[in-house]
């Protein structure tokens, strides 16, 4: 089976960091979430960092499936779904905790109507 540059880069990262692929999915999801929040200047209650994590994770899994199929291998949908869940779980959990608990310092009852409905949380960080 031919290894692409993308797959080779992922294997190098696994070796360099010393973590398994599953653990790297968790770290990549959190890194993408935090980088997106910083770049978009939004807080952790915002849905946008999680949306970006989901898009990045979906793109990576689709790329993996296409490369595996082109190399003559079978697509393992269960593995792709597990990787997707591993990448998105903690960013989604952090967003929900930030929106609905005091864990991140903002009381849910202090959110305005648009934020409480799930449409908000996009104020810039100060």
Give average pLDDT by consecutive 10-residue segment, the chain, 126 residues: 75 87 93 97 94 97 88 86 96 95 72 49 52
1 in helix, strand or coil?
coil
Instruction: Determine the Cα–Cα distance for residues 62 and 45; give it in Å rounded to an integer.
Output: 28
- Burial (Cβ within 10 Å: 0-12, 13-18, ≥19) of residue 29: buried
Distance between CA atoms of 51 and 26, rounded to whole angstroms?
Answer: 15
DSSP 35: H
Kindly write down the DSSP assignment for every residue of 48-89, as one continuous string.
Answer: HHHHHHHHHHHHHHHHHHHHHHHTTPPP-HHHHHHHHHHHHH
CA distances (Å), origin 32, targets 8, 35, 42, 55, 108 = 21, 5, 13, 10, 25
Q: What is the pLDDT of residue 68?
A: 85
> What is the pLDDT at residue 4?
80
What does the pLDDT read at residue 123? 54
């Amino acid at each position: 089976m031919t290894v692409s540059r993308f797959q080779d880069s992922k294997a190098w990262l696994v070796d360099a960091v010393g973590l398994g692929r599953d653990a790297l999915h968790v770290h990549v999801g959190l890194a993408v979430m935090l980088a997106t929040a910083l770049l978009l200047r939004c807080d952790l209650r915002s849905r946008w960092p999680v949306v970006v994590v989901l898009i990045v994770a979906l793109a990576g899994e689709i790329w993996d499936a296409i490369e595996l199929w082109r190399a003559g291998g079978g697509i393992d949908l269960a593995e792709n779904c597990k990787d997707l869940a591993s990448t998105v779980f903690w960013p989604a959990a952090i967003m929900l905790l930030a929106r609905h608990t005091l864990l991140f310092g903002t009381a849910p009852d202090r959110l305005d109507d648009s934020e409480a409905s799930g449409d908000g949380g996009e104020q810039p960080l100060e």
